[in-house]
Amino acid sequence: MAGILPFERCATHHGNIITKYCADHDVVCCETCRVVKHRSCTHVDTLRHVGRGIKATTEYKTSKDSLDDIIVKMRVEKDLRTKNLTNVNQQKEKLLKDVDVFQDEIIAKIKDLAKLSKEQIRAKHQEYKRQLEKDEAALDTVIISTSKTLRNLSAYSEARIFANVKATEKAVQDGDTLLENMSNEWCKKEIRFSFNHILKTNTVSLGHIVDGEQDNEVGETGRN
């Protein structure tokens, strides 16, 4: 309808149109507010009346300039956060890729360590294998020689048996000496490997988030 201004609605009395101004309290209000809160006030007038010529007043200009200023500052703050959001989005993508790269590097390192450990195990196995095979060969030689001497004791000729008995004494003496030397020098071989369990149990993360919050000089300037 012509002549009716689109006033704001009252926040206290929902649905009521703000049509009054109380100069005593310097607030605008609805008719219900006037009756309830401002009925004893002596300077209550309609907005139509008090609003005449408002655009020519210093108060209007100050209000408009203040709103323009705060909007500019808010836009600066919004722009800072928009740019910051773009940055953190990019940082997230980069860091996710960095984690993948770091993961691959750790896996590669673990594989290198595993390869070295296997080489150490194979080397120790070869060392023990050579020692044991050497002892086996020496014992086989003596066993064959001693077994031959034993068979010779079954000869039919007593003279031959006598000679073999003497040879047996030497074979037994050599066998005892070999066994004694081997017993003194030998201990049971066993390949053992001490795993670095600390590496497995104490590795709980690839890193941690560093607090990236800091004062932004541009932001501070924008608030001045």
In order, the DSSP letters of 58-102 are HHHHHHHHHHHHHHHHHHHHHHHHHHHHHHHHHHHHHHHHHHHHH
Q: Are residues 77 and 104 in the same domain?
A: yes
Cβ burial, residue 16 (10 Å; 0-12/13-18/19+): middle
Q: Verify that 43 and 89 share a domain, yes or no.
A: no
The answer to whether position 66 is within a domain reads no
Does residue 125 contact residue 140 with C-beta atoms inside 8 Å? Answer: no
**How much is the pLDDT for 83?**
97
135 and 102: one domain?
Answer: yes
Per-residue pLDDT of the chain (224 residues; tens, 9 = 90+): 334 455 688 888 888 999 999 999 999 999 999 999 999 999 999 998 998 898 888 988 999 999 999 999 999 999 999 999 999 999 999 999 999 999 999 999 999 999 999 999 999 999 999 989 988 898 888 888 778 777 777 766 777 778 777 777 777 888 788 888 877 777 788 889 898 888 888 887 878 888 777 655 544 444 44
Which pLDDT value is given to residue 155? Answer: 64
Domain that holds residue 13: 8-52
Q: What is the pLDDT of residue 215?
A: 59
Do 46 and 86 sit in the same domain of this protein? Answer: no
Check residue 11 and report its DSSP letter. Answer: S
pLDDT of residue 220: 47
Beta pairing class for 44-46 and 27-30: unpaired
Q: pLDDT tens digit string along 110-121? A: 999 999 999 999
Q: What is the pLDDT of residue 1?
A: 33
- The encoded tokens of residue 108 equal 């590669």
Q: Is 219 inside a domain boundary?
A: no
Cβ contacts of 10 within 8 Å, gap of 6 or more? 16, 17, 18, 29, 30, 32, 33
Same domain membership, residue 24 and residue 80: no
Tell me: do 81 and 177 sit in the same domain.
Answer: yes
pLDDT of residue 189: 84
Please state at what angle helix 158-185 crosses helix 58-152, rounded to 10 degrees: 160
Give the total number of structural domains in the chain. 2
Q: What is the CATH number of the domain that holds 19?
A: 3.30.160
Kindly state whether residues 24 and 91 are assigned to the same domain: no
Interatomic CA distance for residues 29 and 34, integer angstroms:
7
Q: Are residues 44 and 118 in the same domain?
A: no
pLDDT tens digits, 59-86: 889 999 999 999 999 999 999 999 999 9
Q: Are residues 75 and 41 in the same domain?
A: no
Q: Does residue 125 share a domain with residue 37?
A: no
* pLDDT value, residue 90: 97
In a domain, 123, yes or no: yes
CB 168 within 8 A of CB 149: yes
Segments in 153-211 forming alpha helices (H): 158-185, 197-201
The pLDDT, as a whole number, for residue 11 is: 86
Asked, for residue 59, whether it belongs to a domain, the answer is no
Q: H or E element: which one contains 18?
A: strand 18-22
Q: How far apart are CA 176 and CA 22, in angstroms?
A: 125
Residues 47 and 158 in one domain: no
- 31, 19 contact by CB (below 8 A): yes
